[in-house]
Amino acid sequence: MAIIKPFKGLRPKKELAEKVASPPYDVLSSEEAREMAKDNPFSFLHINKPEIDLPPETNIYDEAVYQKGKENLDRFIKEGILVQDEKPMFYVYRQIMGDHSQIGLVAGASVEEYEKNLIKKHELTRADKEEDRVKHVNTLNAQTGPVFLTYKARPEIDALMNKIVQGEPEYDFTADDGIRHTFWLVDKDEDIKALQELFKQLDCLYVADGHHRSAAAMRVKQMRQAQNPNHTGDEEYNYFLTVIFPHNQMYIMDYNRVVKDLNGLSVDAFLKKVSEKFDVQKLGASAEKPRQKHEFVMYLNGEWYRLKARPGTFNENDPVEQLDVSILMNNLLVPILGIGDPRKDKRIDFVGGIRGLEELKRRVDSGEMQVAFGLYPTSIEDLMAIADAGKIMPPKSTWFEPKLRSGLVIHLLD
């Protein structure tokens, strides 16, 4: 069962939606956000990354940052930039990036189902980042960034969603990056009830992206429940802001790696060690993406190489061990390059596939890094298999595109 709840969304005025909507808080540095929002007083970054309105030396986890976020949210409401809907409803959010289109339902998902693992996870969270979202949500009394959920597609849900998007949208704009965002209100009682009934038929939901936001929602719910002697389970803090897409509309790009040095090895010695676990083919100066699972490309010393994992280097029956990110980690990054915990090791960095292989080449040619690895994208089926098995993916396994815009709708907690 998947319990979803309509809510009274806090949203931008129609004419301001394009100016308000911003990239998610966790894909921009404070400097990038400050630059993006400097000429736009309506940007949601003033709420989602409020340190941009404080001195640059301010620690992003300082209490003043959360208070500035609340101040900015209150101002947006007072000035009528954001207005709350009068009745609870669902929303439909479609994104179009090139030839790819995905249609998701914006809804409140059950924190209790998350606690019971009926909303399944596949990543661990970092304590500092989770605490940051807890403080942000609790201080603002609002969930400002949606969690990206997915489910095993159902034709009945597709049919109803496709019917809804035939209506007049509330928002429809193309952002600076060329991605089109269209947003519909689902305010008819019969559509709301039908969607709830259809989602109840699902076995579970999966967190695709937003593990820190969903974990924070659980902690805030638990805090508020403990403080509320009249807790009923119907309070808004029992639900968290989500956009829920069918699995067959998900678009996962490669998530690539760059490493600062060869761990004291010469280029020849490094290549010799790599060839013990991988078939190595020199490609020359031209970049080529991996063509299939268990195949990698590597950029080193001005040349590209194709690597193919040899049989026996991984367990094909283990949903985690057979992931390409695991194969690369277990057979090359750890034993040859000496990478420790990839969440903390300063010698490794990660590059989203949206930046292309040229970004890998640039990072190495600049001298900042010495070797780069391009991976074949993890599949949504791999993600669900790992979540179903109760296992955890290695960090930085999936890069979802397009990213959900923040600020199109906010879930207030009371």
Contact 351, 257 (CB under 8 A): yes
The answer, yes or no, to whether residue 70 has pLDDT greater than 90, is yes
Average pLDDT over residues 140-155: 97
Residue-by-residue DSSP string for 319-353 = TTTTSHHHHHIIIIITTTT----TTT-TTEEEEEG
What are the structure tokens assigned to 165, written together? 């998007």
Q: Pinpoint the alpha helices (H) of 1-147.
A: 17-20, 30-37, 45-48, 63-78, 111-115, 127-140
The answer, yes or no, to whether residue 342 has pLDDT greater than 90, is no
Q: How confident is the model at residue 363 (pLDDT cuts 50, 70, 90)?
A: very high
pLDDT in tens, 395-406: 889 999 999 999
pLDDT in tens, 7-26: 999 999 999 999 999 999 98
pLDDT in tens, 75-118: 999 999 999 999 999 999 999 999 999 999 999 999 999 999 99
Average pLDDT over residues 255-279: 97
Q: What is the DSSP letter of 317?
A: T
Domain ranges of the chain: 4-251+401-412, 255-376
Residue-by-residue DSSP string for 81-110 = SEEE-SS-BEEEEEEEETTEEEEEEEEEEE
Mean pLDDT of the chain: 96
- Which among 171, 25, 196, 202 is positioned nearest to 93, based on CA atoms? 171
Q: Report how far residue 309's alpha carbon sits from residue 90's, in angstroms, rounded to the nearest whole number.
A: 46
Q: Is beta strand 147-151 parallel, antiparallel or unpaired with respect to 239-246? A: parallel
Q: pTM for this structure? A: 0.91
- In this structure, CATH architecture of domain 255-376: 2-Layer Sandwich (3.30)
CA-CA-CA-CA torsion sign (280, 285, 286, 287): positive
CA-CA-CA-CA torsion sign (317, 290, 309, 343): negative
Percent of the chain with pLDDT over 90: 93
Residue 405 phi/psi, 5° resolution? Answer: -75, 140
Contact 106, 407 (CB under 8 A): no
